[in-house]
Amino acid sequence: MNATMPAGMKRLDLRDKKVLVTGAASGIGFACCELMGARGADVIVTDIDPEAAAQASGKLNRAGMSAQALQLDVGSRRSIATAFAGIETLDILISNAGTGARIPAADMPEEDWRRVIDINLTGGFLAAQEAARRMGTRGKGAILFVASIMGLIGGGLYPNAAYQASKGALVNLTRTLALEWADRGIRVNAVAPGFVRTPLTLGLLSDPEMEKAILASTPMGRLIEPVEVAEAAAFLVSDAASMITGVTLPIDGGWTSR
Ligand code: NAI
């Protein structure tokens, strides 16, 4: 973006915004970092894997963007607190890190259930809490949860109960935090992607029958690219979405409209 652009277009600009992304070294998280960095944001690339985070932020810096790496395991309250301790102010949080447990519900060990809920839901909540504390003081901020279409439907292709439950809870957490923090100038939204081509879905998509079933459920007939999720995320956290809060935007090629 540059000074010759119409004012409306500048509202997508993220210059002077500090953005923290969790699970940022790969897939959707990294695509968010790349796009937001390209739009001028100062990006804090956080990941459970510190080397992967350093590599990712190095890539952004070499491309002329402003980025730094930080280890942050959203499954650990202590790790979240430690990572945020060094951050004074924040404009945008992309709460992206997530995991699943493809185990039939009747057989699922409690520890697998708790691990998924801890990472996807509790970790997202604690990160949002830390972020909001650094936004409220400035009277403005934006939080975005990466939920899933699996938070809007029951699943059905394979068993993944803890994932579905945690993503559904994120959709409603988005609404309730939006209401609670509206008067502090903090907007809270979510994206709900369908199947995105990332390392997370590599195994699943290598099964031709599964890929066929996924494409058959996607009216637009193809998988989603990480940048297509990043485009929606970058819009929702920008000033272009200044009156949008509490919504979950499906990015699913029509899946949830069937
Ligand atoms: P990915 O596997 O490509 O990347 C996940 C990143 O998170 C990795 O860099 C990994 O090191 C990091 N990570 C794992 N556990 C972590 C933890 N405890 N704390 C911090 N970082 C951690 O995954 P992908 O596909 O980009 O997924 C990102 C988010 O998008 C997840 O929340 C996932 O549920 C969601 N999503 C993904 C979809 C897909 O089809 N790929 C569809 C809908 C939602």
Q: With a 6 A CB cut-off, is 130 part of the ligand 1 pocket? A: no
- d(CA 144, CA 69) in angstroms, rounded, equals 20
Catalytic residues: 163
The pLDDT assigned to 136 comes to 72
Best residue among 22, 26, 34, 205 to mutate for probing ligand 1, ranked by most atoms within 8 Å of CB = 26
Q: State which ligand 1 atom lies nearest to the alpha carbon of 100.
A: 34
The pLDDT assigned to 10 comes to 81
pLDDT (tens digit, 0 to 9) for every residue of the chain, 258 residues total? Answer: 455 677 777 899 999 999 999 999 999 999 999 999 999 999 999 999 999 999 999 999 999 999 999 999 999 999 999 999 999 999 999 999 999 999 999 999 999 999 999 999 999 999 999 999 999 766 799 999 999 999 999 998 999 999 999 999 999 999 999 999 999 999 999 999 999 999 999 999 999 999 999 999 999 999 999 999 999 999 999 999 999 999 999 999 999 999
Centre of ligand 1 to C-alpha 136, Å, is 27
The pLDDT assigned to 219 comes to 98
> Can you tell me which residue has the tokens 């939920």?
147
Best residue among 20, 122, 174, 198 to mutate for probing ligand 1, ranked by most atoms within 8 Å of CB = 198
- d(CA 135, CA 18) in angstroms, rounded, equals 11
Q: State which ligand 1 atom lies nearest to the alpha carbon of 98.
A: 32
The pLDDT assigned to 198 comes to 95
Q: With a 6 A CB cut-off, is 234 part of the ligand 1 pocket? A: no
pTM for the model stands at 0.97
- d(CA 210, CA 212) in angstroms, rounded, equals 5
Reference 77, options 129, 126, 134; nearest CA is 126
* Cα-based distances in Å from 2 to 13, 221, 235: 9, 36, 17
Q: Residue type for 127, please?
A: A
CB 74 within 8 A of CB 124: yes
Q: With a 6 A CB cut-off, is 47 part of the ligand 1 pocket? A: yes
Domain 9-250 fold is Rossmann fold (3.40.50)
CB 239 within 8 A of CB 39: no
Q: With a 6 A CB cut-off, is 238 part of the ligand 1 pocket? A: no
Q: State which ligand 1 atom lies nearest to the alpha carbon of 31.
A: 26
DSSP-based three-state secondary structure for 20: strand
Please count the residues of the chain. 258
- d(CA 200, CA 224) in angstroms, rounded, equals 13
- d(CA 185, CA 188) in angstroms, rounded, equals 10
* Cα-based distances in Å from 232 to 39, 56, 97, 252: 13, 21, 17, 12
Q: In the chain, what are the domain boundaries?
A: 9-250
Q: With a 6 A CB cut-off, is 166 part of the ligand 1 pocket? A: no
Residue 116: exposure state from Cβ atoms within 10 A (0-12, 13-18, ≥19): buried
The pLDDT assigned to 2 comes to 52
Residue with CA closest to ligand 1 atom 5: 23
CB neighbour burial string for 51-74, b if at least 16 within 10 angstroms, e if fewer: ebbbebbebbbeeebebebbbbbb
Token digits of residue 208: 């031709």
The pLDDT assigned to 6 comes to 76
Q: State which ligand 1 atom lies nearest to the alpha carbon of 201.
A: 41
Centre of ligand 1 to C-alpha 145, Å, is 12
DSSP-based three-state secondary structure for 66: strand
